[in-house]
Amino acid sequence: MLDPREIDYKALGFQAGLEIHHQLKTGRKLFCRCQAELDQELMKSAQYTFNRKFRAVLGEMGDFDPGMLVEVEKDYLVIYHANDDHVCTYEMDETPPFWPDMEAIDIGFHLSCIFDCASPVEELVVNRKQYLDGSITTGFQRTMIIARDGHIQLLNGKKVTITNILVEEDAARKIKTEDRNRTVYYNLDRLGIPLTEIITDHREINSPQELVEVAGMIGLYLRSSGLVRRGIGSVRQDVNISIDGGSRVEIKGIQDLSLLPKWCAHEVVRQHSLIEVQDVLKDLPVMKDDFKHTYIEITHLFKDLGEGESAFAVRLPSMKNVLSKEIQPGRDFGFEIFDKCSLITGIQCNEMFHSGETREDSIRRKNFPDELFVDGHRDSMIRDLLKLNDEDGYIAARGPTNRVLHTMKKTIERVKQAFDGVPQETRRALPDGNNEFLRVIHGKERLYPDTDTPPIEYPRDKMESIRKSIKKNPVELMEQYTDQGITFEQLSDLIRHGRTDLFERMVIDQGISGKLAYRLLFEVPRYLSRKGLDGHSITEDAMVDLGVSVEKNRISRSAVTPLMVELCKEKGPKAQLDILEKAKNDYLSDDEIHPLVKKRIGSIKKAGKALSKDQIVGLIMKEHDHRLNGASVASIVEEYL
């Protein structure tokens, strides 16, 4: 197995693309008039619930999407939490959609201008994208392509293509699962909230570091627009990864960009290992057709099985060593099979076993021995029952009979897939950097036009009006503020906290230095938040007045933090300005500082104390509550020493 810490991504032909989903700042949901807000109480209890089971439907060309057929195999019962404040008959799939929220569509076109899309659509077509995991009550998500052929610019000048910008409805939030994950609970408050999906060209990103930079920059572009929501859960990233000889694998559920390189590394390791498995299988005296759906019952070997439970095993010819090959850190190929079987059938990984796990150096035996239900004696008996040769392997499973037989079937299917290398899959990111099977990647049959909403013509003059109103993007802002001593990290802080408009007002309109403006808008508020105070409660007018007063030497720089503490405690706009006015009136001029310094130095000498200049300056500043200029005090102290 490759070392995840030492990967030559260029040599492996690493390519990656992003799908960034960000909720839009609108008042209503996309296809109904329910409020676009979340309700944490619905995660615990519901005003009412209802159930659904899903089935696949034919695509436009009369074919079933293969990914949907796998979803149906999971046989989920879905229970929804709902209330009258956030859910109506549309979310329940009892009525057709309302007319789409035009505010969300306008935002979509605004974003297409931000990303400089060359091909905005002139007519919006609502499409259905099938989802049968229960996260959408209809079994499909309504989505609209807004524009194509845009780009994002990085700091080094490189442009990465944005292939598509879409506006679509968000899915429901998962609450919990029961009954071997076959019963799934969802909260419907989030279902239908408008979001945008930004998709990049995977051919243009060739390292995890560049992937992180592109993801961060897209986030800044979106935040700088002021048109997207902030907060936990408002943004989600999916990553499509491939290497030479591998396949496109989508990894979902990425929240923390700092861990993105680790997820990339582990997926590259997995794909490289599966390619090695493919090469090994080609050299073995075995073919796909040698793997038969012949399952041998081994129930009699286990006395602790409950009613309706059985145990079965299946022979895997020439697979003795392949099952034990490490595929991801801490996961072997056998566990790769378990992982997929578990999600589809409900049999848990600790209810499955492969023959390589009899070895003392096997991964689970070293790390999780309690999960293994086959010992050396049972292993010998299973080998005899299956009539295995020395080079053969097997997989065994125990649990509810129907689910175990389903697991045997999926085991043979997954082993046969190994002959073709890396399967195209959607997988879920795990906290340790690994990932697990989620579903088969969908095909073209998944998407088809919605029959409930007619095409919507978007006025060209409205599009042109939006284009004229576009603000500077983060790279352009950085070029504008280069002379202000602001780093890109500091500019990013201001963008993420929605402070760029006020920053521009302070720096461009009022002539406040960039460093001072950054301190007032980000550094001090961050300090105040640690003290339980809200720095954002200070009005923009008060913030500008404070910055101008400091810049013009009417308020001491050292007085900024204590003054902002006072301002946080006073919510009224006029009262905040009154506090600043009093601070300016109390500020001491150089003429007033001279006698204070002379008096203090005289008392120090009289007391026979030996203090440095800095100590004397600090003492005087503290005595007078920072109502004087520190530089002036230092200069005057030096005169008298």
Query: Which pLDDT tens digit goes with each residue over 366-422?
Result: 999 999 999 999 999 999 999 999 999 999 999 999 999 999 999 999 999 999 999
Pairing of strands 183-187, 77-82: parallel
543 and 595 both lie in a single domain: no
249 and 138 both lie in a single domain: yes
256 and 311 both lie in a single domain: no
- What is the distance between the alpha carbons of residues 474 and 482, in angstroms, rounded to a whole number? 12
368 CB neighbour count, 10 Å cutoff: 12
* CB contact set of 487 (below 8 Å; sequence gap of 6+): none
Query: Which pLDDT tens digit goes with each residue over 465-492?
Result: 999 999 899 999 999 888 888 999 999 9
Number of domains within the chain: 4
- What is the distance between the alpha carbons of residues 251 and 430, in angstroms, rounded to a whole number? 10
506 found inside a domain? yes
Query: First CA to last CA across the chain, in angstroms?
Result: 71
Cα distances from 288 to residues 275, 316, 327, 344, in angstroms, run: 16, 11, 21, 22
565 and 598 both lie in a single domain: no
8 found inside a domain? no
503 and 541 both lie in a single domain: yes
H and E: helices and strands count for the chain: 21, 23
331 found inside a domain? yes
102 found inside a domain? yes
Instruction: Retrieve residue 349's tokens.
Output: 């990984």
Residues 313 and 292: beta-carbon distance below 8 Å:
no
Domain ranges, residue 394: 288-418
DSSP helix, strand, coil percent of the chain (3-state; round to 5): 45, 20, 35
* CB contact set of 60 (below 8 Å; sequence gap of 6+): 445, 448, 449
Pairing of strands 173-178, 447-449: unpaired
Predicted pLDDT of residue 196: 98
- Which phi and psi angles does 513 have, rounded to 5°? -65, 150
432 found inside a domain? no
- Residue (of 93, 104, 77, 56) closest to 188 by Cα position: 93
Boundary (domain end) residue, out of 365, 387, 418 = 418
594 and 563 both lie in a single domain: no
553 and 627 both lie in a single domain: no
Predicted pLDDT of residue 590: 61
Angle between helices 260-283 and 333-345 (to 10 degrees): 110
463 found inside a domain? no
- What is the distance between the alpha carbons of residues 613 and 153, in angstroms, rounded to a whole number? 51
229 and 307 both lie in a single domain: no
Boundary (domain end) residue, out of 375, 397, 418 = 418
Boundary (domain end) residue, out of 382, 403, 418 = 418
* C-alpha count within 13 angstroms, C-beta hemisphere, residue 555: 23
231 and 99 both lie in a single domain: yes
75 and 193 both lie in a single domain: yes
- What is the distance between the alpha carbons of residues 311 and 268, in angstroms, rounded to a whole number? 35
Question: pTM score, two decimals?
Answer: 0.88
Where helices occur in 248-400 by DSSP H, the ranges are 260-283, 333-345, 363-367, 376-386
AA identity, residue 564: M
Residues in the chain with pLDDT values less than 70: 60, 588-594, 597, 606-607, 610, 620-621, 623-631, 633, 639-641
Predicted pLDDT of residue 57: 79
Predicted pLDDT of residue 220: 95
323 found inside a domain? yes
* C-alpha count within 13 angstroms, C-beta hemisphere, residue 548: 15
264 found inside a domain? yes
Counting every residue written for the chain, the total comes to 641
3-state secondary structure of 188: coil
- What is the distance between the alpha carbons of residues 361 and 267, in angstroms, rounded to a whole number? 24
- What is the distance between the alpha carbons of residues 211 and 264, in angstroms, rounded to a whole number? 9
CATH number of domain containing 312: 3.30.1360.30
Instruction: Retrieve residue 314's tokens.
Output: 């299946």
574 and 623 both lie in a single domain: no
99 and 239 both lie in a single domain: yes
460 CB neighbour count, 10 Å cutoff: 10
